[in-house]
Every structure is written in structure tokens, then in C-alpha cells.
Amino acid sequence: MLSPDRFQQIAQEIEGAVGGTIVGQRDAVRGVLLCLLTGGHALLEGVPGLGKTTMARAFAEGLALEHRRVQFTPDLMPADITGTMVLSQDGAGAELRFQPGPLFANLVVADEINRAAPRTQSALLEAMQERRVTIGNVTHALPQPFTVLATQNPVEMRGTYPLPEAELDRFLLKLGFDFPDEAELTETVTRTTGGVFPPAPQVADAETLREMIALARSVPAAAHVIGYASRLVLALQPAREDATELARRWVELGPSPRGAQALTLAGRVTALLAGRANLAFEDVRAVGLPALRHRLVLSFEAEREGVTAEAIVEDALERVATAR
């Protein structure tokens, strides 16, 4: 089994390999790394051209993962993702055989996921939660590790559909891509228009990633720290007396228990990357925003007044005490 020091070293090498391909976007790179090292999924949001898909490919190259890219469009059907039964004929006769879809890979890039209809998006639910796909009466296990990196354009853009709440809840983190500043934009243009664009160097493989996931999930977490993660989630439940004022006023539906799970899982990796052998309050706080902002359903009044989920989560992080 990997040691915590070796875990930290490999993680830094992975970040370095991807960072050599992507200019800037350090928070997004770290967020995707957290998802991969917990076996979770990431939702990457930003306007076109900021490197979301390129980042996903760089992680696949750096970890030598079997990866597939699915371009989500309005006419995409569920079977185009999960696979389907096909008629196969040989000397012994004809029979129906399962043809796996692109979900059967270690890393699946769901590009522009919010351009597909909700029916197609829902085809991911079983795969993301249970790591399996059911076709007819037969259930097929997905390869391990299995991670979905979904990219989406801001919901204000034309031709997009809102993701169902049940699907959003299955993403460990929601990560934003910021528009680059002048220096980053200049460096991006220089790298991508000057000839052959080199792939990210391989620094690990799927077996190493499986060992890192196992180590991350074994990081000790004291009851009072997990209790803090639970209180953060409860503070965003609008019907509770101990909810924050902003949650009671603007939130229709708060995070599910998966929100607390995301805080502790991503927090464990954060602890290891910082050289700590146990989950601490600061690790939970560090991942609070990306772990919770996509799990809030805001009221119509909040949207009309320009109140954001980010502001509500940040307010909860400031107000919820680490100890009772």
C-alpha cells in the first residue's frame, strides 16, 4: 500500500504533468485531481474555449487511463452512451450480444453535457452512483477506477438544458473555469499555435490510481470533524431552525447527505496533499464551495435578485462554528 508521502509525491507529479498542458486554472486542476483520487465525478463549467476538454484529456494521458469522449447533443440517445444489444451472426447462428457504449472506460469526458435532453442525461445516473449499467435484465459492471468529467456551458447560453437535481448531486465537485488574464491568454496562444501540441507525460497508471483512492478513503476522520461537515449541510436546509438566514430566505432545497460525503471525501485528499494524516476542519472548509454550490436549489426570487449559490455557501462557511 502507498505511504502518505508517496501519495503526495505522485499527486504533485500528476498536477505538474497537467499543469504543463493547461495554462492557469490551478483551482480547477486541483479540483479534478481531488475527484480522481476519491473516485468521484467533476462538473466543469465555463464558456467555450477555456480548456475544459483539454484538461480532461491531459489527466487521461498523465494517468494512462482508458478514456472516451462523448459529445452531448440534443439528438443523443441513452443507448449511445450506455451501449445496446446488437444482432451478431456467425457460423453457429444469430444471437443478441451487448455492445458496450463509451461509458465503459476509466475516464469518460461528457462534453457539453447540458446540451442533451434530460432523458439522455439521466442515463448517467446508475453509472455515476453504482458504477454499473443495466441493459434489459442484465447488469454490467464498469471498469475501475471510473470517473466522469462533464463539461457544461453556463446555463444562460442558448441551446442548453438544466441538469436534473439527481444528476447534479452525483458530482463530487462543481468547478468553475475563469477567463484568463493577459499573461495566461498570451501563453495559451503561444503554446497552441506554435506547432505540435505535446501530450501530457505519463506519471502514473490505473493501478496506482486505485491504490491512491484506497489510501484516501482510509484517512482517519474524527467524529467532531465529520460533525462539522454535517452541520454545514444542515445549515443550508431552509426548513431547519439552525439554518442560516440566507438559506431560509433564498433556498428551496438544500444539499442531500451526499454533500457531507463530498466534504469528507475531498477533505481527506486535501489533508494528504497538505502532508496531514487525518481530516481537519480546514480541509473541510477548503472544499466547501465546490462540494456544495451545485447542490442548492434556489428560489425564483433568489434568481431574480441575483443571489448566487456561491454567496449562500460562503456565508454558511463563515457562520457555522467548527465546534459546538
Residue 156 has pLDDT above 60, yes or no: no
Residue 186: which pLDDT band, with cuts at 50, 70 and 90?
Answer: confident
Residue 257 has pLDDT above 90, yes or no: yes
Q: Which of 128-132, 154-158, 197-201 has the lowest mean pLDDT?
A: 154-158
Residue 116 has pLDDT above 90, yes or no: no
pLDDT at 297: 93
Q: Yes or no: say if 109 and 68 are a contact pair by the CB < 8 Å rule.
A: yes
pLDDT at 19: 82
Shared domain check, 147 and 108: yes
Local structure of 171: helix, strand or coil: coil
Shared domain check, 12 and 139: yes
Question: Do the domain assignments include residue 259?
Answer: yes
Q: Where are the beta strands (DSSP E) in the chain?
A: 42-45, 67-71, 83-90, 93-100, 107-111, 132-135, 138-141, 147-152, 173-176, 251-253, 297-298
Shared domain check, 224 and 87: no
Residue 180 has pLDDT above 90, yes or no: no
Residue 158: which pLDDT band, with cuts at 50, 70 and 90?
Answer: low
CA distances from 182 to 21, 154, 177 (A): 18, 22, 15
pLDDT at 155: 61
* The residue to which cell 462554528 is assigned: 321
Range of the domain at 138: 1-192+206-214
Question: Do the domain assignments include residue 158?
Answer: yes
% of the chain beyond a pLDDT of 70: 96
What average pLDDT does the segment 274-278 reach?
Answer: 91
Q: Yes or no: say if 85 and 136 are a contact pair by the CB < 8 Å rule.
A: yes
pTM of the full predicted structure? 0.90
Q: What is the mean pLDDT of the chain?
A: 88
In this structure, the number of other CB atoms found within 10 A of the CB of residue 122 comes to: 15
Shared domain check, 184 and 226: no
DSSP track, 102-147: TTSSSEEEEETGGGS-HHHHGGGHHHHHHSEEEETTEEEEPPSS-E
Question: Do the domain assignments include residue 201?
Answer: no
Establish whether the linkage from the previous residue to 145 is cis, with ω within 30° of 0.
yes
pLDDT at 159: 66
The total of structural domains in the chain comes to: 2
Angle made by CA atoms 250, 256, 260, in degrees to the nearest 5: 105
Shared domain check, 56 and 10: yes
Shared domain check, 60 and 160: yes
For residue 281, give the amino acid letter: F
Q: Write the CATH number for 283.
A: 1.10.8.80
CA atoms within a 13 Å half-sphere pointing along the CA-CB vector of 81: 28
What average pLDDT does the segment 43-52 reach?
Answer: 82
Question: Do the domain assignments include residue 60?
Answer: yes
Question: Do the domain assignments include residue 237?
Answer: yes
Shared domain check, 210 and 251: no
